[in-house]
């Protein structure tokens, strides 16, 4: 174990640590990795070597950088490393500025132990397993790579790096943090953002399926929500990804689609079902879906439609129809057009007057399915 001075911190129920790592700790414990773009043959480093400083041994440095479909970092920018190494050299010679004054953000794959100096105190010693590559950078990978490239000139004992360390942070939370930090300020490439929302980053099967569905609804040209979803918090879409994904996750994590086996089977065809489902919703409520003064494409309305999806699937099962069949879905939800209608979604009308919520709209949709002719009594 490596013992490092640390402060235990809490924010909104999340515990993390502010620690002091030596250059040697960084060099040994942090692994460097970039997102691998499939079969494109893309290298982990971009930028030519024509202007590279001779201080950086790029052959050695590139061997230290792994690429993986489960990573989330961009390609390493060669020019940025060169400039950082030169800056470190200037700081070392002038001794009037620190090279890395700001904290890097790091995640640890394993649970860390913390020993406070006083019972219940926030100051103490953080114990980090002394294993190569156990840490990975969320923010600051270029700074740390430059440190590694210049490590021979940096005395480890008297060079410490401020670090924010999270332990066992869920993969989707790591990606969300990375995007939040980098999307606006460093202009992440759009294709990189798209790659981050792939199934491989979500170990939770329900969350993985949820993101598959959201991506299909946004990306497929035949989807009525094509281009409307703001993936990972960026883009031109009007609908936030997170609330839709969480609503879907709750469905896929339950047995709402007819027990564990049927629910597992449904996940396999969930993308086709939801694309066809919302296509039929856009048909049943055609005026509202295509109009400007309606709230049918708001997050609340879309979540309500997702919430009643199991009721639609049960009706399809009763008819012994293919759960993702476009025409069958249309037959099942046709009563919504008669019982509810487009005016229900008029923003300055029934939508606002009724103080519509996800729960209230979902109840109306379920009742319309249960009593298609309006014979509640």
Asked whether residue 28 falls in the same domain as residue 100, the answer is yes
Band of pLDDT at residue 189, cut at 50, 70 and 90: low
Residue 189 makes CB contacts below 8 A (sequence gap 6+) with 74
The 10s digit of each residue's pLDDT in 294-307 is 999 999 999 999 99
pLDDT higher than 80, residue 162: yes
Residue at 184 is within a domain: no
* Total structural domains within the chain: 2
The 10s digit of each residue's pLDDT in 38-54 is 444 455 555 555 444 45
Mean pLDDT, to the nearest integer, of 3-8? 91
φ, ψ for residue 237 (rounded to 5)?
Answer: -65, 160
Q: Do residues 256 and 199 touch, judged by C-beta distance below 8 A? A: no
Residue at 311 is within a domain: yes
Residue at 340 is within a domain: yes
Asked whether residue 218 falls in the same domain as residue 361, the answer is yes
Burial class (CB in 10 A: 0-12, 13-18, 19+), 267: buried
Asked whether residue 273 falls in the same domain as residue 346, the answer is yes
Asked whether residue 25 falls in the same domain as residue 171, the answer is yes
Mean pLDDT, to the nearest integer, of 142-156? 78
Please report the pLDDT score of residue 21 as a whole number: 87
Asked whether residue 105 falls in the same domain as residue 212, the answer is no
The 10s digit of each residue's pLDDT in 20-35 is 888 888 888 887 766 5
Most confident segment among 2-6, 21-25, 91-95, 271-275? 271-275
Please report the pLDDT score of residue 92 as a whole number: 79
Asked whether residue 157 falls in the same domain as residue 271, the answer is no
Residue at 195 is within a domain: no
pLDDT higher than 80, residue 182: no
Please report the pLDDT score of residue 39 as a whole number: 46
Q: Which of 4-18, 59-73, 212-226 has the lowest mean pLDDT?
A: 59-73
Q: Which residue has the higher pLDDT, 198 or 280?
A: 280
Q: What percent of the chain is modeled with pLDDT above 70? A: 76
DSSP 14: E
Asked whether residue 171 falls in the same domain as residue 219, the answer is no
Task: Give how far Cα 154 sits from Cα of 65, 105, 151, 175, 324, Å.
Answer: 20, 21, 5, 31, 61
Q: Which residue has the higher pLDDT, 247 or 49?
A: 247
The 10s digit of each residue's pLDDT in 118-127 is 888 899 999 9
Q: Do residues 145 and 88 touch, judged by C-beta distance below 8 A? A: no
Asked whether residue 156 falls in the same domain as residue 302, the answer is no
User: Among 175, 192, 226, where does a domain finish?
Assistant: 175
Residue at 182 is within a domain: no
Asked whether residue 148 falls in the same domain as residue 27, the answer is yes
Asked whether residue 214 falls in the same domain as residue 331, the answer is yes
Residue at 70 is within a domain: yes
Residue at 188 is within a domain: no
Q: What percent of the chain is modeled with pLDDT above 90? A: 33
Q: Which residue has the higher pLDDT, 234 or 208?
A: 208
Residue at 224 is within a domain: yes
User: Among 127, 142, 175, where does a domain finish?
Assistant: 175
The 10s digit of each residue's pLDDT in 305-341 is 999 999 999 999 999 999 999 999 999 999 999 999 9
Q: Which of 181-185, 220-224, 246-250 has the lowest mean pLDDT?
A: 181-185
Please report the pLDDT score of residue 283 as a whole number: 96
| Range 89-93, long-range pairs (CB < 8 A, 24+ positions) | 89/55, 89/150, 89/153, 92/153, 92/154
Write out the residue range of the structural domain in which residue 263 sits: 200-370
Asked whether residue 151 falls in the same domain as residue 232, the answer is no
Mean pLDDT, to the nearest integer, of 282-301? 94
Asked whether residue 15 falls in the same domain as residue 146, the answer is yes
Mean pLDDT of all residues in the chain?
Answer: 81
Band of pLDDT at residue 253, cut at 50, 70 and 90: confident
Residues 246 and 250: their CA atoms lie apart, in Å, by 6
H-helix or E-strand containing 19?
strand 14-22
Please report the pLDDT score of residue 46 as a whole number: 54
User: Among 105, 140, 175, where does a domain finish?
Assistant: 175
The 10s digit of each residue's pLDDT in 66-84 is 665 556 555 667 788 888 8
């Amino acid at each position: 174990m490596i013992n490092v001075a640390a402060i235990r911190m809490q924010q909104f129920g999340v515990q993390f640590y502010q620690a002091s790592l030596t250059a040697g700790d960084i060099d040994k414990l942090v692994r460097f990795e970039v997102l691998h773009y499939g079969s494109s043959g893309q290298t982990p480093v971009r930028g030519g070597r024509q202007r590279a400083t001779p201080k950086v041994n790029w052959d050695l440095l590139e061997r230290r950088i792994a690429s993986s479909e489960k990573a989330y970092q961009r390609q390493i920018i060669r020019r940025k490393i060169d400039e950082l190494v030169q800056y470190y050299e200037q700081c070392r010679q002038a001794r009037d500025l620190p090279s890395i004054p700001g904290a890097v953000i790091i995640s640890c794959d394993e649970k860390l132990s913390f020993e406070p100096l006083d019972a219940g105190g926030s100051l103490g010693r953080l114990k980090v397993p002394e294993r190569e590559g156990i840490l990975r950078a969320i923010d600051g990978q270029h700074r740390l790579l430059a440190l590694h490239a210049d490590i021979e000139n940096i005395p480890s004992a008297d060079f410490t790096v401020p670090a924010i360390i999270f332990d066992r942070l869920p993969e989707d939370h790591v990606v969300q943090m990375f995007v939040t930090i980098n999307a606006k300020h460093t202009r992440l490439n759009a294709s990189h953002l798209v790659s981050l929302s792939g199934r491989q980053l979500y170990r939770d099967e329900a969350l993985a399926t949820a993101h598959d569905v959201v991506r299909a609804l946004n990306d497929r040209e035949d989807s009525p929500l094509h281009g409307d979803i703001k993936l990972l918090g960026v883009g031109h879409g009007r609908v936030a990804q997170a609330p839709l994904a969480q609503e879907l996750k709750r469905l896929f994590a339950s047995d709402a689609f007819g027990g564990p086996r049927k629910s597992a089977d449904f996940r396999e065809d969930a993308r086709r079902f939801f694309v066809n489902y919302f296509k039929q919703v856009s048909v049943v409520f055609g005026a509202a879906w295509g109009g400007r003064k309606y709230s049918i494409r708001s997050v609340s309305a879309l979540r309500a439609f997702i919430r009643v999806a199991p009721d639609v699937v049960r009706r399809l099962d009763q008819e012994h129809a293919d759960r993702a069949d476009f025409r069958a879905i249309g037959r099942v939800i046709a009563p919504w057009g008669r019982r509810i209608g487009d005016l229900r979604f008029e923003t300055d009308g029934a939508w606002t007057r009724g103080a519509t919520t996800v729960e209230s709209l979902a109840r109306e949709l379920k009742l319309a399915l249960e009593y298609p002719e309006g014979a509640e009594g």
